Amino acid sequence: MPTGPVLVVGAAGKTGRAVCGALLSRGAAVRAAVRPGREASAPAGTEPVAVDLTDGRGLDAALAGCAATYHLAPNVHPDEVGIAERVGDAARRTGLRHLVFHSVLHPDDVRMPHHLRKGVAERALRQRVSGSLVVLRPSAYHENLLPQVLDGAVALPYSADTPFTTVALADVAEVAATALLDPARDGEVQDLVGLEALTTREMVARAEQVLGRPVRLTVGTPGAWAAGPGADLPASAREALAAMFAAYDEDGLVGDPAALTALLGRRPTSWAETLAAAGTASALPPS
């Protein structure tokens, strides 16, 4: 166990919470970077620290004395590269020994601007971080589709018949915690990809089998999505996601599961296993 806490940037989101939980379960001290004024949103058991990623305020204080940090930028943020530069500069100033960056599968896919920003952010961190650096590139999560499946209705703004190798968030968090606690793994770039290539239609059919109830699947247009669920998003996020949906229409999002299998030392969690665990949890009476 390294000396000093591990800082998790973006700790209040679903990925950050999962990474914090995986670290805490291993006995690590965890510092949770959250937006100023949102300290109460930090996961239980962590030390909240206020960080403004838009200008870097609070980064040096948050990183001071840390053994490692997990850098996770806000989803589809237009200033992803600037944020990475500020984090990398602060890491160098404070002498951070180890950084793990949460990137994305296929960060050089020119069809998806927010993927490209992840790729540029990777390069910015390599230029700035003086300690060891590991890059993790996860695929889309099981948990992205799970809430709709559990509600019994899935609505897509892209094809239901292109394949995805989705990954369980808990598997990503497990690998992230291992990487954070092992600074000797400098220079690794790992794709984190689930074992099964399934279309969304196949995922919904499997959900019906596992949950024992029907799940309605509808496919709409990107325009309808932009006027509905996407209407409240910033324009830059809406445009980035629309480009992603167009790419998904062509060939989904598929990668090689070999690295995740090796990193976990076991078979990655299947979609059916995620469904079964979620179905059991939802069936439990309130405590």
Q: List the beta bridge partners of residue 143.
A: none
- Residue 52 is encoded by which pair of tokens? 């403004």
CA distances 126 to 80, 101, 102, 129, Å, are 15, 10, 13, 6
Is the CB of residue 213 less than 8 Å from the CB of residue 153?
no
Secondary structure (DSSP) of 150-207: HHTEEEESS-SSSEE--B-HHHHHHHHHHHHT-TT-TT-EEEE--S--EEHHHHHHHH
Please state, in angstroms and rounded to a whole number, the distance separating the CA atoms of residues 221 and 227: 10
Sequential pLDDT tens for the chain (287 residues): 667 999 999 999 999 999 999 999 999 999 999 999 999 999 999 999 999 999 999 999 999 999 999 999 999 999 999 999 999 999 999 999 999 999 999 999 999 999 999 999 999 999 999 999 999 999 999 999 999 999 999 999 999 999 999 999 999 999 999 999 999 889 999 999 999 999 999 999 999 999 999 999 999 998 999 999 999 999 999 999 999 999 999 999 999 999 999 999 999 999 999 999 998 765 545 44
pTM here? Answer: 0.95
d(CA 209, CA 198): 15
Sequence-separated (6 or more) residues with CB below 8 Å from residue 235: none
Chain segment 121-131, per-residue pLDDT in tens? 999 999 999 99
Buried b (16+ CB within 10 A) or exposed e, 73-88: bbebbbebbbbbbbbb
User: Which domains does the chain carry?
Assistant: 6-139+169-193+255-269 (3.40.50.720)
3-class secondary-structure state, position 14:
helix
What letters, b where the CB count within 10 A reaches 16 and e where it falls short, cover 25-56? eeebbbbbbbbeeeeeebbeebebbbbebeeb
Q: Is 217 helix (H, G, I), strand (E, B) or coil?
A: strand
H helix runs in the chain, sequence order: 14-25, 59-63, 80-94, 113-128, 142-151, 169-180, 200-211, 222-227, 235-251, 258-264, 271-283
Eight-state DSSP code of residue 77: -
The pair phi, psi for residue 50, each rounded to 5°, is: -85, 125
Of all residues in the chain, the percent with pLDDT exceeding 90 is: 95
Look at residue 79 in the predicted model and tell me its pLDDT. 97
Give the span between the Cα atoms of 89 and 250, in whole angstroms: 38
Closest C-alpha to 1, from 19, 25, 34: 25
